[in-house]
């Protein structure tokens, strides 16, 4: 399939680099300031070298990527809240011209799911977004396979940064600020970690899961969110005395409520994944509880979910 990859951060870059291995060709590649287009296939390595050298993948206008020759838009620009722009506009441009869309950007499906699905309903193109929930973990595909009507609830650890901080605090008895600084040194936490540690990132993923399970209707504002920023080390010590630990759990309840917050879980529980791992538990009507876990972030990991989605699209 011919791909237009919009966004050249860790995920967009990995998608462009790995596309050939999956039998696809990148015909447009854009970052925020430039783009490179070639209907026969962009020289991805050359484009990334140019970005390294000149700050952009190419000299074309980034908007030209959306009107280029391609079968599927890979939307990998940073997640934005509210109107989810400019990502939403990119999705709109692709669907209005009957092209497929695969999202790594959470904004459009977390904040404007119903708008995206309305556009898809009018388009010959399809929309997929496996990479938006749990990185490499096939959460959405698993829900689809079971059929959303047979999944009654979902919960999980959906943010690797917060989980790394909680794991280290519990294992070493260190305080929050100390572990966060360590995570920043290791590149596990960003310079501004608020999106992760305040629960926003996990909440967006839960809104997306709720939209899939309930056929839309959810946005970030519908999620009851509490982060881990105020959590004292003593809370983890008390939990440990009782064979438990604390995890930042996001959940879509059987009643359709969506919430994110620190919860006590037994140390031996499947939810007590360590470090930057993610896990999702699905409660089903006939198949009991299913657990899916793995790497919830990372360029190649998330790109593999994007490329799995591309593989699931109808041929054009």
Residues near its own copies, by CB under 8 A: 14, 18, 22, 136-138, 141-142, 145-147, 150, 268, 270, 284-295, 298, 300-301, 303-305, 308, 311-312
Q: Are strands 100-103 and 127-128 parallel, antiparallel or unpaired?
A: parallel
CB of 142 to its own copies, least distance (A): 5
Can you give the C-alpha Rg of the chain in angstroms? 20
Q: Is 205 a catalytic residue?
A: yes
Q: Helix, strand, coil % (nearest 5) of the chain?
A: 45, 20, 35
- Residue 169's alpha-carbon distances to 41, 175, 209, 226, in angstroms, are 47, 6, 29, 18
Peptide bond between residue 86 and the one before it cis (omega within 30 degrees of 0)? yes
CB of 291 to its own copies, least distance (A): 5
CB of 226 to its own copies, least distance (A): 27
- Residue 27's alpha-carbon distances to 3, 24, 115, 176, 235, in angstroms, are 6, 10, 27, 45, 52
CB of 80 to its own copies, least distance (A): 26
Q: Which is nearer to its own copies, 203 or 303 (CB)?
A: 303
Element (H, E) at 168: helix 160-172
Q: Which is nearer to its own copies, 119 or 310 (CB)?
A: 310
- Catalytically annotated residue among 24, 106, 168, 205: 205
Q: Which is nearer to its own copies, 26 or 225 (CB)?
A: 26
Rounded CA gap, 85 and 62, in Å?
A: 15
Q: Which is nearer to its own copies, 21 or 185 (CB)?
A: 21
- Catalytic (active-site) positions: 205
């Amino acid at each position: 399939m011919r791909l237009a990859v919009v966004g050249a951060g860790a995920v967009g870059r990995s998608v462009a680099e790995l596309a050939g291995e999956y039998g696809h060709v990148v015909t447009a590649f854009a970052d925020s300031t430039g783009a490179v287009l070639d209907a026969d296939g962009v020289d991805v390595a050359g484009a990334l070298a140019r970005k390294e050298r000149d700050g952009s993948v190419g000299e074309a206008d980034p908007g030209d990527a959306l009107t280029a020759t391609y079968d599927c838009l890979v939307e990998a620009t940073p997640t934005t809240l509210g109107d989810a722009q400019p990502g939403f506009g990119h999705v709109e441009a692709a669907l209005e011209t009957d092209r497929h869309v695969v999202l790594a950007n959470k904004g459009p499906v977390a904040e404007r799911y119903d708008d995206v699905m309305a556009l898809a309903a009018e388009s010959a193109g399809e929309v997929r977004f496996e990479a938006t929930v749990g990185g490499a973990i096939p959460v959405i595909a698993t829900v689809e396979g079971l059929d959303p009507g047979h999944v009654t609830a979902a919960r999980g650890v959906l943010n690797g940064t917060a989980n790394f901080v909680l794991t280290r605090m519990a294992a070493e008895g260190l305080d929050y600020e100390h572990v966060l600084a360590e995570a920043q040194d290791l590149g596990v936490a960003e310079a501004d970690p608020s999106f992760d540690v305040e629960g926003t990132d996990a909440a967006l993923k839960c809104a997306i899961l709720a939209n899939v399970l309930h056929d839309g209707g959810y946005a970030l504002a519908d999620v009851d969110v509490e982060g881990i920023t105020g959590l004292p080390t003593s809370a983890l010590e008390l939990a440990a005395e009782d064979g438990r630990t604390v995890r930042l759990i996001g959940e879509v309840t059987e009643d359709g409520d969506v919430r994110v917050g620190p919860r006590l879980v037994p140390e031996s529980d499947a939810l007590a994944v360590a470090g930057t791992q993610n896990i999702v538990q699905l409660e089903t009507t006939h198949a009991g509880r299913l657990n899916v876990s793995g790497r919830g972030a990372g360029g190649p990991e998330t790109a593999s979910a994007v490329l799995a989605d591309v593989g699931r699209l109808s041929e054009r």
